[in-house]
Structure 1
């Protein structure tokens, strides 16, 4: 969760590469309270150490972290960037800002690393992790973006999704790619641009339209751009586009044609951990250092939590909330509203799959209380505010700002607060906001139990909301299982660093990682009864049903058709 208000800009065209002045912050290693690993200048005659690094490009900020071989961060830098909201439901990023913020973070974190007495040459490889589904298009010949990046929760494609659901062959999609048809994946974002952006249409007609998720755009630019830059992606990102066959991990002709994007230059799919496929940094303080790993952010968090065994699961609380459950070497197509995705695919190993439950709104709901309603001044205050009341006072907040994702998949719902009375206070609303994420996590767990036939007993957690003891205790109380939180919660970046380290033999076996980030973990144990949990969850499910149907897609279609005729 970001700590400063996002700015709004009405323009929807890609801007220049200059980043306007804004606050940049040195990461505090996720604010965990007992940090015995503060970097110290390296003493003379001490054996040289192997380090790996990670680019972590998220929805609201970019970061760069440098880890030692025990998974301890030794240097880091974080930089927020502008959020663009051209219209209601539209969310965009300037593609140049994504690249430039990453480059700034690399420079600043490495300067810190060197100032603490370490040596740049000891950084053996860099991994990349990124916000998924966010879609970037650029001109193959010039290397310049043709439109702003359309961000994963953007809902401008609601009408298109409604249309595609009626198209012949739509019933095949989930079986082929593991994903339901919704506004979430990259496919509909690219299809929308092909339909509505003249520059994109012209580039496609001329055979020079390049597409990529954020990892591809970053890798293309970091390895040299238009002249020599690599156009690649990994299976964990490719599996989020709806263009990739979930079993073959190759682009599928039926899927490409279904979304009308034949002729687009797609990134080559390469292993998530590979010593050669991602090239090297082409300039800057770390010029020549290998990029050797790439994972979508939620897959990276599973790797960072060492979720290498089937049956292990993690939940990451960021802008949204994402629960991944390792299902092993075969994809499991959900019958209960979950996504089938690639967890990771390291070179020389069989790919590992996961079931995923995606929640569109988690940390962004807390930012809403802060930025839109002014109920809190800082995101970290939410737990303290919620703890002042023993319950939500009957308030239920369905945070469907972008509809509801797993396991409901309804795009006609909108954010709704139920149960407000004269008794309601801001403390009740704060608690109900936290509970909204916890209830959706519980719903996802139920779906996973049905799909897998196995009940989880412990859930590993990380991300912004996990910093709050109050939030995590509420999560345990609502789910009825233990919540396991690591002391060092930079697990997404750590996962990318592990992927890179595997490629260059910093680690060679998964067993070598079993002790990484194990010290100082805290377990939150449920304090509620099954009867209490059942009653609360029933109220949540009732609220979800009442929040649906707010957006009339048929009426929107008719209005849009009438406007087109004019």
Structure 2
């Protein structure tokens, strides 16, 4: 390919709610994109949560064809594809690489247990990325950086363990496992069948990335231990990066990063994080929808605009974000407390946003203390980052500058960065991030607001000590 011609990279981001496919130029600018929602999970019995039929591959095909249809460049200038999929899934495949059974979601109880070899058609066991890699290339090859969880992977070498007894302990045999490569390595080339399904030209190289959170972090420009990334999605968590596999961590857990043999440190998080804000938005119903319409705003923008008028701290209203109870405390419920005559629907909305920021500040502070580091800036990504109010609340809570991730699909951009590095367009990940990630808007903390949130922190930290006893009692009644 002549260096005078433009080069484009496709980032595939198969997330937990949709598949997004974006075509990026060599400077990280999105030139076209497509999206397809995933279907609702099948839950045929308690503990079983599956992606119906072949939904992951089907949705990637729909999104990819939409992105290519909107691409006005020359398909011959597409240099490569970066493949990123949902983490913690498990796929059981037949000998030909097709599904022997539905893909297990990350919420399926079985993915946290040793593999049980009960399917006579099972010839391979892999992750969602391994499955999609085979559909794209025909090769049984997968990134090592998507094998957090119950897999016989040595976290220091990023290779399968040499101990067959360890593999057997996890219910597996060596012949069931895929070949492993590192992020930035070539998985193979788009097959003719995959080209027909996705619209991507046959023969285009497909490059390995990592798990979806690590690829999102790369696309946000997370590179140094002094930067914290807060991901505001259905699951809200804080992330930092570093070179050490920290064993026996107590206030965070260690994941694989998108840069080979680097690690992503993840704080405790909030399940149903931004979902809780959406739940409340929908609960308000037509009255707020009509008010937003009359103001010429989306419902989210209307809520943010009105909640911005509410004083920091929401006049004492506090939210405890247990809309989905943790496994070790199934009795917990979500709590909103502290009501008096000052409070409106917008106080409630602001209190939900503040609770998200306060919770993650608490968990990431404990992570930083255990790592022996401190943060100089925060990057915020995900759907919640589009809210100026949420960005300012995060700046005020953390007390340091907070920067919005510029990319609309940070995971897609991270996947494209892996492709650009793997194909030699950039010498290494550092150069690729410098060239392809552009900084977004920065929000600076207001000192008075930060001081208020600091005073509230110990109150938030202690709330469950008081509510747990009540919810234990009601759990026996309502479950």
1:487–1:522 Cα contact (<8 Å) kept? no
Question: Cα deviations across residues 363-412 of structure 1 (Å, max 9, x unaligned)?
Answer: 2212322445648655555423422422433332222233349xxx7555
The unaligned stretches of length 5 or more in structure 1 are 1-44, 161-185, 195-200, 224-228, 560-566
SS where residue 66 of structure 1 aligns? Answer: strand
Question: Which residue does the alignment assign to 1:307?
Answer: 222
1:483–1:524 Cα contact (<8 Å) kept? yes
Cα shift at 1:513: 3.4
Aligned CA distance change for structure 1 residues 422 and 230 (closer, same or farther; 3 Å): farther
Cα shift at 1:327: 1.3
Question: Which residue does the alignment assign to 1:384?
Answer: 305
Question: Which residue does the alignment assign to 1:402?
Answer: 324
1:442 equivalent among 361, 370, 376: 361
Q: Distance in 1 between matches of 2:415 and 2:347?
A: 38
Aligned pairs for 1:148-227 (under 5 A) are 149-152=103-106, 154=107, 157=109, 186-188=111-113, 191=115, 194=116, 202-203=118-119, 206=120, 208=122, 210-223=124-137
Aligned CA distance change for structure 1 residues 397 and 145 (closer, same or farther; 3 Å): farther
SS where residue 22 of structure 2 aligns? Answer: strand
Question: Which residue does the alignment assign to 2:292?
Answer: none
Q: Distance in 1 between matches of 2:458 and 2:305?
A: 26
Comparing both structures, which one devotes a greater share of its residues to helix? 2
Aligned CA distance change for structure 1 residues 237 and 382 (closer, same or farther; 3 Å): farther
SS where residue 508 of structure 1 aligns? Answer: coil
Cα shift at 1:274: 0.8
1:54–1:64 Cα contact (<8 Å) kept? yes
Q: Distance in 1 between matches of 2:229 and 2:256?
A: 15
Q: When the two structures are aligned, how many residues end up with a matched partner?
A: 454
The unaligned stretches of length 5 or more in structure 2 are 290-298
Aligned CA distance change for structure 1 residues 46 and 231 (closer, same or farther; 3 Å): closer
Aligned CA distance change for structure 1 residues 471 and 520 (closer, same or farther; 3 Å): closer
Cα shift at 1:334: 5.5
Question: Which residue does the alignment assign to 1:121?
Answer: 76
SS where residue 28 of structure 2 aligns? Answer: coil
Cα shift at 1:94: 1.9
Q: Distance in 2 between matches of 1:490 and 1:243?
A: 31
Q: Distance in 2 between matches of 1:324 and 1:104?
A: 31
Q: Does structure 1 residue 236 correspond to structure 2 residue 145? A: yes
Q: Distance in 2 between matches of 1:142 and 1:250?
A: 22
Q: Does structure 1 residue 332 correspond to structure 2 residue 246? A: yes
Aligned CA distance change for structure 1 residues 507 and 141 (closer, same or farther; 3 Å): closer
The alignment's C-alpha RMSD in Å is 3.3
Question: Which residue does the alignment assign to 1:432?
Answer: 351
Q: Does structure 1 residue 96 correspond to structure 2 residue 96? A: no
Aligned CA distance change for structure 1 residues 136 and 453 (closer, same or farther; 3 Å): same
Aligned CA distance change for structure 1 residues 358 and 449 (closer, same or farther; 3 Å): closer
1:457–1:482 Cα contact (<8 Å) kept? yes
1:50–1:124 Cα contact (<8 Å) kept? yes
Cα shift at 1:95: 5.0
Cα shift at 1:531: 4.1
2:91–2:99 Cα contact (<8 Å) kept? no
Return 389-398 or 438-447, whichever deviates more.
389-398
Q: Does structure 1 residue 480 correspond to structure 2 residue 392? A: no
Q: Distance in 2 between matches of 1:501 and 1:69?
A: 8
